[in-house]
């Protein structure tokens, strides 16, 4: 069973405009939607949709926190959040004339003591694997992630920014940077797929058994004891890239939970990501044809 930890959740607001955005004018959206967001939360929703037992934990506060908890419960996702003072952040993606604008809040300041409460919530679920995803709110340092990794007899997966990845000291089963985060974390040249694989391979020495790097339109690489695997992205109509990396990771974890090897897991992750980017917002899409999509993913060894 997987538990996801989202230290800094968000309500994801997605607004769409027909016209190009411009300063000093009132822009009226043609449509808007609100979704429960944050890397761990997105993963919990996707894993639940793929029939993988999952419980979402993290820190919630205010009316936006209430919205997230209620949304997850309506989606059938188990929840075990810690309540904090302040209001969970609101992140906005504006899509205008095929361009994306992202406006993210920092999140409420929290006390370091909340990690103790959160560890209790995680341990109570007796998970096999724990995913810690997303940014850290003000008041917490990378030590808050290391404490989760060292806090119990579970494998820990981490999906956070490159600056945080550099400062982690515990042992992790997997980290999932995107291309920019991989470059930030290693200082390596990641302009090519081969360069990304080299950087991921080197980064494993810092305490990561596997490294899964999302490369946007170039696909993804998965580097571990099974070798260096590269999967090309599927050719789909991209509407919104928010949550694409979360979908990639969720697909990989879902396949591993089913006993799949790394190559099958990578194919599955790319297929789930392809489904997610074809619609606006971070709500879970229809995943019924994932196996068919997976068969169309090309994987090769680097």
Q: Which residues are catalytic?
A: 246
Question: Which residues on neighbouring strands pair with residue 223, listed in sequence order?
Answer: 211, 228
Q: Name the nearest CA neighbour of 188 among 199, 197, 177.
A: 199
Task: Give the C-alpha distances (Å, rounded to integers) separating 67 from 64, 71, 74, 88, 260.
Answer: 5, 6, 11, 10, 35
Residue 131's φ and ψ, nearest 5 degrees, are -105, 120
Q: Six-digit token pair at 259?
A: 């006993």
How far is it, in rounded angstroms, from Cα 88 to Cα 108?
A: 6
Ordered DSSP codes for 219-237: -EEEEETTEEEEEPPP---
According to DSSP H, which parts of 50-161 are helical?
62-74, 114-124, 143-149
According to DSSP, the β-strands at 10-17 and 31-37 are antiparallel
Task: Give the C-alpha distances (Å, rounded to integers) separating 100 from 2, 93, 104, 107.
Answer: 32, 7, 13, 22
CA torsion through residues 175, 180, 184, 190, sign = positive
- The C-alpha angle with vertex 63 and arms to 62 and 67, in degrees rounded to 5, equals 120
How far is it, in rounded angstroms, from Cα 101 to Cα 2?
A: 32
Task: Give the C-alpha distances (Å, rounded to integers) separating 75 from 8, 34, 44, 48, 89.
Answer: 20, 14, 10, 8, 21
């Amino acid at each position: 069973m997987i538990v996801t930890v989202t230290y800094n959740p968000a309500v994801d607001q997605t607004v769409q405009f027909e016209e190009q955005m411009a300063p000093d004018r009132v822009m009226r959206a043609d449509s808007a939607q609100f979704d429960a967001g944050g890397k761990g939360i997105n993963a919990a929703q996707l894993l639940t949709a793929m029939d993988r037992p999952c419980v979402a934990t993290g820190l919630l506060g205010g009316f936006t926190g209430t919205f997230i908890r209620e949304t997850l419960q309506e989606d059938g996702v188990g929840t075990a959040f810690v309540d904090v003072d302040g209001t969970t952040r609101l992140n906005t993606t504006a899509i205008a004339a095929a361009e994306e604008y992202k406006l993210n809040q920092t999140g409420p300041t929290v006390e370091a003591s909340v990690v103790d409460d959160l560890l209790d919530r995680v341990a109570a679920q007796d998970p096999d694997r724990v995913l810690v995803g997303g940014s850290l709110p003000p008041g917490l340092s990378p030590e808050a992630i290391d404490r989760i990794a060292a806090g119990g007899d579970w494998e820990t997966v981490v999906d956070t920014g490159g600056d945080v990845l550099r400062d982690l000291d515990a042992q992790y089963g997997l980290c999932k940077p995107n291309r920019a985060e991989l470059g930030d974390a290693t200082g390596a040249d990641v302009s090519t797929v081969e360069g990304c694989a080299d950087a991921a391979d080197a980064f494993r020495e810092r305490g990561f058994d596997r490294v899964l790097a999302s490369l946007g339109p170039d696909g993804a690489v998965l580097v571990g004891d099974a070798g260096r695997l590269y999967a090309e992205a599927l050719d789909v109509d991209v509407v919104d890239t928010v949550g694409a990396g979360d979908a990639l990771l969720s697909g990989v974890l879902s396949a591993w939970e089913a006993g799949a090897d790394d190559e099958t897991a990578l194919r599955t992750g790319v297929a789930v990501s392809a489904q997610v980017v074809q619609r606006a917002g971070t709500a879970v899409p229809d995943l019924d044809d994932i196996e068919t999509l997976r068969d169309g993913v090309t994987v090769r060894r680097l």
